[in-house]
Amino acid sequence: MSLVPFDDRDGWIWLDGQFVAWRDAKVHVLTHGLHYGSSVFEGERMYGGEIFKLTEHTERLFKSAEILDFEIPYTVAEIDEACKATAAKNGLTDCYVRPIAWRGSEMIGVSAQQSKIHVAIATWEWPSYFDPETKARGIRLTWAKYNRPSPTSAPTAAKAAGLYMICTISKHAAEKDGYADAMMLDYRGYVAEATGANVFFVKDGVIHTPTPDCFLDGITRRTVIELAEKRGYKVVTRFIEKPELAEFSECFIVGTAAEVTPVSEVGEFRFTPGKISLTLMDDYARLVRRELVDA
């Protein structure tokens, strides 16, 4: 399948309050966000004409900007409406939604207080990250080379572009070796998350998930916990050591892109997609398409 570059597509992108033809939505090469990572973003999905947890995503975008010491020049409600309008402008009802905010090109140096804050929103068709057959079988993960940093070393509570550098490196290495993704440890050596998704494990009918104190407590993560508890499953949030993976029977990752995806392998550890993983995968799919009452 040929690659369709993201800078050469038909459609419209919302940029600083107005719609711009897709190919004309550009920034200067000396943009601060490009050189210094002063950029925050969100990943959202629209299902059947509604963006799932839209306001929660927008509020997190604003919080991320605050952590990176800049203010988005719009309200949460304005960005919510712009996200919906962008999907409509492009004629999409099932799509991926990407709002992003960044420091502009007025100043190019570590210090950039006077730089303008820009905001853009793009939407595009993006089917499920993994096909149903692959999901049911479970994806294979290897171990990442890099660990998630300490919150005293990086702004880990922000969904900031710079924090994904080690994720890209790790995912590329995993795919080169035939894996779908990589599992990351945190700075203490505890199990953290995949490169773009939170992780859950199952042991004796109880669900365990890492404490998100140095990586994002994902919106999908919180949704899945609510779905699990609604089903009567006990969910334990705690620090998980790598050797413990030998004791778990099921594993699955969750995120806006991954949705709920069972895992069959993490490095030397093996799992079998079972009742809990598959039930929550189905529950989440029904919830986002409004076939299930909100958790």
**Global confidence as pTM:** 0.95
Segments making up each domain of the chain, as ranges: 12-124, 132-288
Dihedral over alpha carbons 170, 70, 59, 125 (to 10 degrees): -50
Strands 39-41 and 95-103: antiparallel
Q: Does the annotation count 89 as an active-site position?
A: no
Strands 259-266 and 139-143: parallel
Q: DSSP of 23-34, one letter per residue?
A: GG----TT-HHH
Distance CA 150, CA 253 (A): 22
Q: Quick one: the chain helix, strand, coil %, rounded to 5?
A: 30, 30, 40
Question: Which residue out of 84, 159, 234, 242 is catalytically annotated?
Answer: 159
- The amino acid sitting at 228 is A
Same fold, 12-124 and 132-288: no
The answer to whether 15 and 120 are in contact (CB under 8 A) is yes
Distance CA 222, CA 230 (A): 12
Return the pLDDT at 294: 57
CA distances from 29 to 32, 121, 168, 288 (A): 9, 19, 21, 38
Return the pLDDT at 130: 77
**Pick among 3.20.10.10, 3.30.2290.10, 3.40.50.300, 2.40.50.100: CATH of 132-288:** 3.20.10.10
Closest to 160 measured CA to CA, from 250, 82, 60? 60
Instruction: Look up the CATH number of domain 12-124.
Output: 3.30.470.10
Q: Does residue 252 sit in helix, strand or coil?
A: strand
The answer to whether 9 and 22 are in contact (CB under 8 A) is yes
Helix H or strand E encompassing 253: strand 250-255
Per-residue pLDDT of the chain (295 residues; tens, 9 = 90+): 568 899 999 999 999 999 999 999 999 999 999 999 999 999 999 999 999 999 999 999 999 999 999 999 999 999 999 999 999 999 999 999 999 999 999 999 999 999 999 999 999 998 877 777 788 899 999 999 999 999 999 999 999 999 999 999 999 999 999 999 999 999 999 999 999 999 999 999 999 999 999 999 999 999 999 999 999 999 999 999 999 999 999 999 999 999 999 999 999 999 999 999 999 999 999 999 988 765 5
- The amino acid sitting at 39 is S
| Residue 76, both tokens | 């949460």
Distance CA 156, CA 102 (A): 17
Query: What letter would DSSP give residue 53?
Result: T
Return the pLDDT at 136: 81
